[in-house]
Amino acid sequence: MRVLFLASLCAAFLALSGGTAYGALERNFDLSRGGGPQFQCQLGQRLGTEADSIRLVAASAVPYDHLVFLRTDSGFTASFELVTSVLRDGTGLFAERITRQEVSTDVYAETNSRVKNVVHVDQFLVPPGDYSVRVTLTADKRTRRKSKWEGKISLAASDPLLRVSDIYWISEDTTSTTLGLPRVTETFATDEQDAVARVQVFSTGREDLRLAWTVLGEKGDTVRSDVTRITPDGTIQTHEYVVPIEELPAYPYRLRLEAEGNGRREVRTREFSVRIPGIPASITDIDLAVRQLKYIATSDENRRLREALPEEKERLFKEFWRRRDPDDGMAKMEEYYYRVEYANEQFSTHRVGWETDRGRIYILYGEPTDIERHPFEAGTRPYEIWFYASPSRRFVFVDYTGFGDYTLVSPEWGY
């Protein structure tokens, strides 16, 4: 679906730009790798009542746009298989779980959504220790394409006088007696009203517990803070904190919890970002997003955006895209930054991908119709030729250093 979607957008952009196509994760997300659908995964711990045991949580989120939907009598359906393997350091495989998941929608537009996700959560009861977790996703039965995510987590023995779970953002409105379904994508749009974080707390002590929540800005400055006290009752208690997203500018943040009581102190943190609607979740810094406009913005537009005050920058940024297409500027913004994200993933060397020659051509023209690669020919340096059918273009890139840093050697406009 990705190829067809890009192809249709390229044709529309070329008509508007006189031959140059343009339009839509720093990656603070842990993304999968491989030829199958890309997904995100997050590891953490929840509290349990079992002695000397911890609940290891692996939560995965797969964007609808990365799945293959097939038409059915009731709409569109996609299916995939998820294998979550937990390995304990020094002993090998500790546990494994296989899940076959199916998702359906009756709205075709949702099948291309990069915001809507299928979220799956696996929990494992484990003793304290160091663990490696591997999550493998297999796509539809026909292609059997696979993607893999790997991560590590250290789980320490808990203290009965104060036990605190990890912080979780909640993606669905559930009762406060449970942590609910975690929101794996920790990026919130500026038009969202609230972000809800929950944490579990347990204590066998008699003193009240002090919970201090702090929202820290990009430079470590305190943006918001709140202190509450809870009385332990011998059970696992869930505490909730609400962050008013609409009051925060589009920048990265950190949510910090400091829990104290009965002579014990525990600290938990969770990163999150606020973004402008229409920018992919991987773009978390509006200043960076402005810099990445240099391929399509005029010098005057670029200067105004760079020099704008933080409270004005979002408005000017949206106006920039509306001027390019009053009817559907947000779609073009989304596609442009999708290409930036892809360039960073595929073409980064000692320079970030969007600043390389291949990244620039990909951002401006999109997916090549064909790529001719020559990595190991005798007597020549590695080179690639990118072909575009409409408009007719050919770009030649040569790797002079041997480290994958390909330089454009054909004319800027191709030939």
Which domains does the chain show, CATH number per domain? 2-24+319-408 (no CATH), 25-157 (2.60.40.10), 159-277 (2.60.40.3880)
The confidence score (pLDDT) of residue 81 equals 93
pLDDT recorded at residue 174: 57
Question: Taking each helix axis from N to C terminus, what angle separates 329-347 and 357-365, rounded to the nearest 10 degrees?
Answer: 150
Residue 140 near residue 244 (C-beta atoms within 8 A): no
Per-residue pLDDT at 279: 63
Cis peptide bond N-terminal to 127, omega within 30 = no
Instruction: Give residue 28's pLDDT.
Output: 34
Close Cβ partners of 4 (under 8 Å, ≥ 6 residues apart) = none
pLDDT at 11: 34
In sequence order, the β-bridge partners of residue 195 are 243
pLDDT of residue 280: 59
Tell me what pLDDT residue 335 has. Answer: 86
For every one of its 415 residues, what pLDDT tens digit does the chain have, with 9 covering 90 and above?
A: 333 333 333 333 333 333 333 222 233 346 788 878 888 899 999 988 777 778 999 999 998 988 889 999 889 999 999 999 999 998 899 999 999 999 999 989 888 887 788 889 999 999 999 999 999 999 866 777 899 999 999 998 888 899 999 999 987 655 545 667 788 878 888 777 789 999 999 999 999 999 999 999 988 999 999 999 999 998 999 999 999 988 888 788 999 999 999 999 999 999 998 887 766 566 677 888 999 999 999 999 999 999 998 778 888 988 898 888 777 657 788 889 889 988 998 999 889 999 999 999 999 999 999 999 998 887 789 999 999 988 889 999 999 988 889 999 976 545 4
pLDDT given at position 283: 63
Three state DSSP letters for 287-356: HHHHHCCCCCCCHHHHHHHHHCCHHHHHHHHHHHHHHHCCCCHHHHHHHHHHHHHHHHHHHCCCCCHHHC
Its pTM surpasses 0.75: no
Nearest alpha-carbon partner for 367 in 402, 393, 397, 348: 393
Angstrom distance (rounded) from CA 297 to CA 320: 8
